[in-house]
Amino acid sequence: MTKAYDTIYIDGAWTAPSSTETIDVVDPNTEQVVATVPQCTPADVDRAVAAAKRAFPGWAATPPTERAALLAKARDLLAERSGEMAALITADMGAPGWLAERVQVGLPLTVLGSYIKLAEEFPWEENIGTSLVVREPVGVVGAITPWNYPLHQITNKLGPAVVAGCTIVVKASEAAPQAAHLFFEILHDAGFPAGVVNLVSGTGPVVGEAMAVHPDVDMISFTGSTRAGARVSELASATVKRVALELGGKSANVILPGADLEKAVPAGVGGAYLNSGQTCSALTRMLVHRDDLPRAVELAATAATAMADRLGPLVNEAQFERVRGYIAKGIAEGATLAAGGPDRPEGAEVGYHVRPTVFSDVTADMTIAREEIFGPVLSILPYDTEEEAERIANDTPYGLSGAVWGPTREAAVAFARKLRTGQVEINGGAFNPLAPFGGYKQSGNGRELGRYGLEEYLEVKSLQL
């Protein structure tokens, strides 16, 4: 049964959009339309931004702890409806149930909790010499979020923005919009004042670009492809608004000589295939010393095959064909196929499923080693010296994430310091939602999560006493 969402959330109420056009939402497991959402127009963006602008003075003047108290209500309501939320995310973008519950919903709950706590601990004012330095909200925020983590990417932006005192207009991805609609139902029930949080839907070229050029939007926070991020920056530059970008990646997982291959390689496969490889920080390049290559390839192929039943489909047909095209390209360019391939998995005649794929004998100039694939495709590249490993790891326009496995923590940390990337896992170190997340180079600018994520939404004013 198809669910028709026929309203958007503006100024504290669900309201009809200016257009009757809609966008189909397709379940990637069944290839069937499960929902429709409005295709908004720039007029809808104007209304949402106007509501956010009206609400800003009152919200900015509200004490941070009161702002956080409303966010805490929303967090608690989300926890109560977590099963419903997980099911919508699975229907939208295909995440298996365990992943939808544990990561797609569990992580946003943790992130919201971190900002609720941070509101009390953050140094909103400080004395520096003869000056009082105060931190104030940047203003109206336009948030453009992707489909791969459809709730997490909203909470990464909305949580710190509202705690900072900003008002916000969110454009969720049209490919996976149902989580946003449910979350805004939750925000409404939590009692946020009219205009503080607003939701529009539609495509990037229509709605996203209208937000980026809008003169009353003070900041754009965008997560998505590097190509689209460059377009957002270009449009936003006309009004010199603040722009925070979290973009693509081609992250290297460097396994140093002496590291525990039996742990490092399977963990690296997991880091490449999380969310069916549809993760900007996926560890898609595994760098292994040439002496360790045969065993590493064997371990990776075994791990990939074992993970086949735990992966969901890719988000849509376009992504499905794109990833299969990259697999074919890897074969054509001479990489050795160690596991997987371009064919559908056995028994998966319906749904956008791709075999978890491992390539060995990959060279740094191959397409699969240079371009972001956004699917379950791992490239294993050999190296002969640590200097060569460093060069290969950094030889990319991206710099979002990475990993290093070494014989000791000290050796791994020493190598990690040489990587031009925003975060590095050390010997399997776990993701930390309080640590800054963001990239170097064409992986973007600015940081999300924790104190650094909050600071993105604040201006700094000096009062000379």
Q: Which residues are marked as active site?
A: 246, 280
Within 8 A by CB and 6+ apart from 69, the residues are none
In one letter, which amino acid is 132? L
Main-chain dihedrals φ then ψ at residue 375, nearest 5 degrees: -160, 175
Within 8 A by CB and 6+ apart from 395, the residues are 364
d(CA 14, CA 374): 34
β-strands 13-15, 8-10 pairing: antiparallel
Cβ atoms of 284 and 250 closer than 8 Å:
yes
Vertex 427 angle, CA 421 and 223, to 5°? 35
DSSP-H helix ranges across 288-442: 293-307, 317-332, 367-370, 386-394, 409-416
d(CA 137, CA 86): 32
The 10 Å Cβ neighbour count of residue 342 is 17
With H, G, I as helix, E, B as strand and everything else as coil, classify residue 341: coil
Main-chain dihedrals φ then ψ at residue 144, nearest 5 degrees: -115, 115
Cβ atoms of 384 and 243 closer than 8 Å:
no
